Every structure is written in C-alpha cells, then in structure tokens.
Amino acid sequence: MSINPFSLEGKTVLATGASSGIGRETAIRASQMGATVVAVGQNPDRLGETFSALEGTDRAHRQVVCDQTNSEDFERLISELPQLDGVVLCAGRVVTSPFPFCTREKYDSVFEINFFSTVELLRLLYKKKKIASGGSVVLISAISGIARFPIGNAIYGASKAALTSTMKFCAKEFAKKKIRVNAITPGMVRTPMIKLDALTEEQLQKDCAQCPLERYGEPTDIANGVIYLLSDAAVWVTGTTLVIDGGLSI
C-alpha cells in the first residue's frame, strides 16, 4: 500500500481569512487533501462560496463568520471550535503609505488584523488546549517583513515582521506539547489584497520582470506550501520560515 505523507486524512484544520485569496485556497486545498475544514471569514457571502467549494461531503466541514476585531465574535469562535490538528492564520490587510504619512492610526488598524488579533487567537487556541498534540500551526506572513522592503510598505512589513518573530517564540514554547509552528512568507500573489487593475499591462510586465520566475504567485502556490507544513511530511519542521516568492528575495 502506498503512503502519501502529504495527506490530511483524519485531520481537522482551521483556516482564517477563508473568504478570499490565500485563506480561501488553503481551505479548499486542505479539503481536497482529506481534511475536515473549519473555514473562518468576515464576509458571509464570500465565505459561503468558499464553503460550497470544499470537497468531501461526508466530512463535517464548518463555516464560522467572524470579525476577529470583535470580542463577542472572537469568544464565540473559540467556544465553537473542535479539537484541531492544523491551524492556518491567513487574515490580513494591506495599507500602502509613504513613511511621512504612516500615522499611529494606520499602524493600529493594520497591526490589529495582521498581528494582534492573529496572535490573540493563537494564544487562546493554545491556552484552551484546542490544538491537538502533534498539531501544526502555519502563520501567513510576507516577504516584505523579512527580506524585501518596497517603498510604501513600512506598516504592512512591520506587522508581518512582528508575526514572523512571534512564530519562532511560539515554536520553541509549543514544542513541549509536540505542536509545530511555522510561517510562510509569500511574495507578490494575485489576490484581492493587491490592486493589479490599477497597473497598466506594461507596468505589470515590468514588475513581474523583477522576479526570477517572471510572474506573480497564485494563491495555490502558497496553499500547497501550507499543505506541506500541515502534513506529516513536515513532522520534523518547526520554527522555520518557508519563503515562496518566485525568487524575488534572491
């Protein structure tokens, strides 16, 4: 009998930010690999579309509408969650601003989603023992937080750098419970978060040319990396940052 180390059969996986982009694709790919998925998102209509796309009707998939900045929604989410084998934290937002206009209010709004609410969810999941021994946590960070620093991305990059750093501390502490914690740092990925329609075709080609593989990433490119880190193929991987950027950071 062949064994697929990337299978998620028998695992229950939480994916936040599942209304669109990387979170949506991760939820769908996890279901395709055999997982029971808890899809969490803020937009009920788009979350419903994700839920409808999940494979495996014999599994008890769930969808939970949750604004992670709302304390009542947050408490309800924690109380409704089953025991989890995998946690993928994808919720995030982008604000682009030249540094002289990076006000405290802008920092607060981005850090609230990208860092504080994400870390608070992880803290509560661990404290309330919602993550099973042998489980895996994947944080979606960004290449602009560790290796590439484009003008206008100071706020977003700082929030993701904080997330990547926290991942390493959690990996060390959670190891005593045999829970792995890793991060993925994507490069430019075609999601609703980046406004590609604001660029001309010439500008798009010029931007893509900066990447050795000469294209933007697709959500599937990142979701496949998430599947690896969730699976038993990565059972000896923790505290690491998986760069998936088409070579942009070289």
- Would you please indicate which residues are annotated as catalytic (active-site) residues? 156
What single letter denotes the amino acid at residue 172?
A: K
Contact 152, 97 (CB under 8 A): yes
Burial, 59: exposed, middle or buried (Cβ in 10 Å; 0-12, 13-18, 19+)? middle
Q: In what order do the strands lie in the sheet with 36-41?
A: 62-65, 36-41, 12-15, 84-89, 131-140, 180-186, 241-244
3-class SS at 181? Answer: strand
Q: How far apart are CA 15 and CA 88, in angstroms?
A: 5
Q: Give, for 40, the enclosing helix (H) or strand (E).
A: strand 36-41
Query: Residue 125 — φ and ψ, nearest 5°?
Result: -60, -45
Cα within 13 Å of Cα(47), Cβ side: 20
8 A C-beta contact, residue 50 and residue 38: no
Query: In 3D, which of 25, 19, 22, 20 has the Cα closest to residue 44?
Result: 19
